[in-house]
Amino acid sequence: MKNIRNFCIIAHIDHGKSTLADRLLDSTGSVTDREKQEQLLDNMDLERERGITIKSHAIQMDYTYKGEQYILNLIDTPGHVDFSYEVSRSIAACEGALLVVDAAQSIQAQTISNLYLALENDLEIIPVLNKVDLPSANPEEVTDDIVDLLGCDSSDVIPASAKTGIGIDEILAAIIERIPPPSGKVDAPLRALIFDSVYNPFRGVETYFRVINGSIKKGQNIKFVATNKNYFADEVGTLKLKQLPKNEIKTGDVGYLITGIKEAKEVKVGDTITDAKNPTTEAVPGFEDVKPMVFAGIYPVDTEDYEDLRASMEKLQLNDASLVFVPESSAALGFGFRCGFLGMLHLEIIQERLEREFDMTVITTVPNVSYHAYTHKNRDQVILVNNPSDLPEPSSLDRVEEPYIKATIITKADFVGPVMSLCIEKRGQITNQTYLTPERVELSFDMPLAEIVFDFYDRLKTVSKGYASFDYSPIGMRPSKLVKVDVLLNGNVVDALSALLHVDNAYDIGKKMCEKLKELIPRQQFDIPIQAAIGAKIIARETVKALRKDVTAKCYGGDISRKRKLLEKQKKGKKRMRQVGNVEIPQEAFMAVLKLND
């Protein structure tokens, strides 16, 4: 056990985490020349194109240092804030972390939030200054920033370049010398932490775990503590680039387990594996069910594709247990699903995977968050509102609570004003402002989650010229004055465009929605009134004018009453048409509502 080292790499997006992992695999000889490729651990097309890690990976390396053989387990973590729970479980499975900071960009918001996660778990931090070979690198200044942040010595910071291979041997030496070996009781009952799971179409769910106490053997009867289900360990082994079956995985090591589970929901990240006959008395702390934060309706463009969409969603759920969906129907869009996502990036990825992997073109409705409503009749009973149509009648409503987040934004000192005004516009309250260096400021806000769901991230990048980095964590529910704004087309409510909005913003957003829809809805033979309403009160209106034939063209002079008679006749026809006519809403209209500020 003393020769095992478990570590992860934490960094902000695009600071060179995946490239550093590639170099470590190269220099430990874990990858043959034939298997080599850039960003080896990011095996999804989407991950490669966007340059982000969506799914974490684990890999084992063998390394000889000063004549001794060591086993290094790298547990990779996703970089984006949507997946912070997975990051926390990966960190809990390690004893040390490489903190990678870009020498050109310095410390960013996620660097700090992931660092705090690592420090909470008492990890040994090894600071690595990456990309020192770039012409725009500023190693001395960024090293000072790291020293201020960690309170370490400047000699502890390892200058490196994952691209050219500078400093890789020093990093490997630091992993072995500075990170402590795992501590655990070899003779105690089995206690292992699940930090990830992957779906294999031939063998079911593969569970990735780290053994804390005891050992897990092939053919053993095991139990998952959170779900309280028993399984049979068909195969256990270690994770090289390909899986390597073994008879036993001992204390402190990382491996995979195949039990033939077909449902991804049965394997929960953060759960504890123990022996069925002699279970452990204490589970690994910190387990929680992954809660979706953002909800949106996903509908097939063609109603006949509903069953295909269901099959596609079920297959996606096998790979991604954090995707939640229930069937729902809408008068405007037909049958579809109400889906829960971890955040906006998760929503985008699911939508893109549906299109790529299953050829499903879908319409996504306005994303919203989950609210808690309370009625006068039952002031203690929570009514979950995931969809604006679930909100009780305004007359019976006592109060509504909405989820709040603690947002951390790090930006250059020049952009503090625009960033603050953006956050205040989004109903944020500033709680803290810290100058990390004379040039860089960390701002903390308490904000409603609903306000960052739409276009907050894009606008933050715009006002800060791309320099602001953003990270958030949920802080619970708070009471709020919310109203349901409906959009009426030709007098009919379009349920897919309804939204729950704060009272102060309802009028402005209602007006903008009407203006946007007026541009996008094609003209018909009759006038189409577009209205925004709160309950029975209309707060904004626009009209799409009818296409008109010039009926007075054949009147060449004569009495005015002849012209008026023809116009009146036309007017009656239009009125009758409006009663029977129905308005088709183009798909762009649903998407345009998300981008009201463009």
Nearest-Å Rg of the Cα atoms of the chain is 29
pLDDT for 326: 84
Total residue length of the chain: 598
pLDDT for 80: 63
pLDDT score of 577 more than 50: yes
pLDDT tens for 150-185 read: 777 777 788 888 777 787 888 888 888 888 888 878
Give the whole-angstrom CA distance, residue 161 versus residue 145: 18
Look-up: residue for tokens 């960003």?
Answer: 39
pLDDT score of 525 more than 80: no
pLDDT score of 360 more than 50: yes
pLDDT for 53: 59
pLDDT tens for 418-454 read: 888 888 888 888 888 888 777 778 889 898 888 877 6
Categorize the per-residue pLDDT at 52 as very low, low, confident or very high, splitting at 50, 70 and 90.
low
pLDDT score of 82 more than 70: no
Categorize the per-residue pLDDT at 582 as very low, low, confident or very high, splitting at 50, 70 and 90.
low
∠ CA(427), CA(343), CA(195), 5° rounding? 130
pTM above 0.85, yes or no: no
| 3-state secondary structure (DSSP) of residue 196 | strand
Average pLDDT along the chain: 78
Pairing of strands 4-10, 96-102: parallel
pLDDT for 81: 61
pLDDT score of 394 more than 80: no
Contacts of 261 (CB under 8 A, 6+ apart): 204, 205, 207, 231, 267
pLDDT for 157: 80
Average pLDDT of the residues in 86-92: 77
pLDDT for 42: 47
pLDDT tens for 276-330 read: 787 777 777 776 667 777 788 888 887 788 888 888 888 787 667 678 888 887 7
Are 75 and 56 in contact by the 8 Å Cβ rule? The answer is yes
pLDDT for 250: 82
pLDDT for 553: 73
Q: Is the dihedral of CA 484, 485, 488, 494 positive or negative?
A: negative
pLDDT tens for 326-359 read: 888 776 677 888 888 877 778 878 888 888 888 8
| 3-state secondary structure (DSSP) of residue 373 | strand
Contacts of 585 (CB under 8 A, 6+ apart): 332, 489, 494, 521
| Alpha-carbon distances of 106 from 11, 147, 344, 503, rounded to whole Å | 11, 12, 26, 40
Question: b/e map of 394-421 (b: 16 or more CB within 10 Å)?
Answer: eeebeebbbbbbbbbbbbeeebbebbbe
Distance from chain centroid for Cα 255: 26
Give the whole-angstrom CA distance, residue 98 versus residue 115: 10
Residue 284 DSSP symbol: P
pLDDT higher at 263 or 253: 253
Question: b/e map of 433-444 (b: 16 or more CB within 10 Å)?
Answer: eeeeeeebbbbe
pLDDT for 46: 53
Exposure of 92 in the CB half-sphere (CA atoms within 13 A): 22
Contacts of 90 (CB under 8 A, 6+ apart): 8, 56, 75, 76, 77, 195, 196
Are 442 and 412 in contact by the 8 Å Cβ rule? The answer is no
Structure tokens at 427: 């109903």
Share of the chain above pLDDT 70, in %: 86
Average pLDDT of the residues in 45-61: 62
Average pLDDT of the residues in 532-537: 85
Structure tokens at 399: 């109060």
Q: Which residues pair with 474 in a beta bridge?
A: 405
pLDDT higher at 587 or 263: 263
Q: Which residues pair with 255 in a beta bridge?
A: 209
Are 182 and 123 in contact by the 8 Å Cβ rule? The answer is no
pLDDT score of 79 more than 70: no
pLDDT score of 479 more than 80: yes
Residue 65 DSSP symbol: E
pLDDT tens for 137-150 read: 777 888 888 787 77
pLDDT for 17: 73
Give the whole-angstrom CA distance, residue 93 versus residue 366: 37
pLDDT score of 45 more than 80: no
Whole-angstrom distance between the N-terminal and C-terminal Cα of the chain?
Answer: 58
Are 322 and 342 in contact by the 8 Å Cβ rule? The answer is yes
